[in-house]
Chain A
């Protein structure tokens, strides 16, 4: 007999082999159960990936702001809506000690129609504008090198990651915005969010010219945001406080991190996306738990006699319970690893078609691994009661 020897080994050494042998005893059953767990896990990964991708897309513009502090209207409930303030606030901002540079950013989400070179139809796009001769205000891949090209009366830069039907990723050299001809001077990569299908960037003079109903020159145009860089030797909070003291309370001053958080909070509270994706993930969790429960329940039912025998031989119930839990954790892992790999492919495919930035990262890996282990272990704890109550005398 081998068992009594093994029984004398410390629990750490003997727990896994029994679980492992139970797991691999029936290869077809293992394949079936891990496929079930893998798809439930994949469902959670995709749903949570969407949730993260949604926030990443929504926050891509505020994250691209190239500054330490951002001055906006205090009435703005989110960054991505037009609510400009008077140009006159630019000079007071520049006069505050510790401000190394303060550059106006103009933006509009509702008034600029870009004629798609693909089908010749006008589509609403997001437009960002700044003084091409001034300091950088946005750090978007491909933009910095092209900024000087905007110093012209008809030059625009367009987003090569915009949605297809805008035709921004074609080789077209010119198009129209609000019915006026513009020259495409280059392309940057930003991507759409859930409000805008694409983005055009232009110099402040052209923005003033194309903005419907605008009578101001670029030198006097209402400003959407002032991007402030803090001088070496000054701290960001100190300059933020000095700016707040100088400006009326209709104007707000936020740190870069603060405005990203502000936008995130808006998206979390007012959009439906968060609850929708979490609901999907919860359903995946429940499905996974059920699959896992079925696997363990059936396995334990089949092996009840063996477990009862082990008990009769003197193995403690706690040892058998640990073994069942270890087996559940192993089967969770056996589902998780292929799901994680498959998920990389799914993210890539969806990212290409939906232009949604889906990335597997440490947060998602840890979160979904935790959920997978959780569903398998909860299922095991529910199912293991059969082993606990297995009475050797009754079984035979």
Chain B
């Protein structure tokens, strides 16, 4: 297996990517990974790296990349919008196709908001053959509100009280300022793009029908997930499975490098029974 870091361009911005290439027995299907949002990306980084390596050992080429304004890519976070994330994903798919010989199809794998972006991007990219959505954000409005609550929690921890409530933060966004989420400066366009995202809207996917795996990540099995069930009903050809894992995209009491149940379920869905 080879791992090659490089930069590629999209809309004038240099994006960082790392290509995981299997040895001789390379499959004609590859993966592009869509990373989660802001600080979730950092906490989830290592499980995504380790799953990319696992896929490469099973013969799949994998491209992981950073959206503009994220990770090692060019730009500032306030340049990021849902539109740019979809555009960067499309560019990553093209890059994987250019860098890998005999590639017939590409699958998108995403986690949290990255999964939502992957689902939106898939409907716009013809060569995407299938989707793997790990704990996707279905209700963008609720997610956007949770981002504002992160700001409130920081205020409460530092000042002992809330100096600026959510309404005021949103007003400032509309006045052209940014909103701070865990240190990231979120623009109005990004906030609105996330808030307006509703993956449970049947019209979103239209006639798009490809094999898709949705994985609910729960600490214990048997948790009802109406949000993901709603998405499954909208996404024709999808299956909804459950993995028993910690929420490794946020700070927990473990250094989480592997998500064994999640990896096993995903590999099994891909047709690899031994995981």
- Indicate, yes or no, whether A interacts with B: no
